[in-house]
Structure 1
Amino acid sequence: MSQHKMKIHGQYVKDFSFENPNSPFLPSSKAPDINVMVNINSAKLEGTENKKGISEEKPFHEITLHIEAKATVKDEDVKDDIAFICEVKYCGIFSIENFTELSEEEVRQALFIGGPTFLFPFAREIIARTTSSGGFPPLMLDPIDFETMYQQQSQQQKSSASNSNFN
């Protein structure tokens, strides 16, 4: 991936939810199974950035890092096997230097690799604090290699596109 200078103009929680449906009756003797899903979205925003009195048109992009963690337990005494569900949509507003000089693929790489790489530690910390406040050990998500994730997604899209040509 080639390097491009990205600037973040803001970051924020767009949506957040924590469910703890079986508290305080969830048995703590069994470790829950944890399933984590990660999704990344990008939306182009139009705007201007004023710098030293100069108004310059710059395309801004809102990157949304959506993480859902669901913990379940298998226990006959528990009617619903859900220990907790924690979901956060954490966003950042980004611009890319020399945006017009980049290919579409270079822009996609910057947005879908650089953006979530920056946002992930903040979303991870929110999830850890929330699960701890919910009466569970803090859920410390493992680091995510967004470059590998992007490459795998691109490869899957290319494979499905080439397979659809043979129908």
Structure 2
Amino acid sequence: MEEMELGSKTKPSVALAYIEGVADQTLIDESKSRLNRIDVDGILESEYIEEFIKVNPYSFSTSIKFRTGRFISSYLLEGHAAILVDGIPFVLVAPITFQASEDYYQRLMLSAAIRWLRSLFIVISLLLPSLYVAVLTYHHEMVLTTLLISMATS
């Protein structure tokens, strides 16, 4: 753990936690440089730090996750870095992957299959509604007439 103080007025103690030899050194160096670049009057919440260190502020997805204590050790063992703020119960973990906390309690093959299914269904949920709107708007002749009348009345 490496401690530092952020903010010019409040100066909370912030710690960067990682396991040396497991975590990638470029990740640790980048995390340190981003934390050292923060120039703000005060840090009241760990979300303040997230806003300053995230990669793309306009992205819908994030590379940082808020977690509580019991999952942090598993993330550290995987080579992630954790940012702890004094007095805040939530820990920032970076970088995150497309993984749920339930994946730690399943067998490897089962959790890998569930991850693939999760990815597939996210793609389907993003593409299927637009395909539906396109078919009904521009190619309504592709839909059965009885089904189209039923949808129009509803």
Structure having the higher helix fraction is 2
Question: If the length of structure 1 is used for normalisation, what is the TM-score?
Answer: 0.27
Structure having the higher strand fraction is 1
Question: If the length of structure 2 is used for normalisation, what is the TM-score?
Answer: 0.29
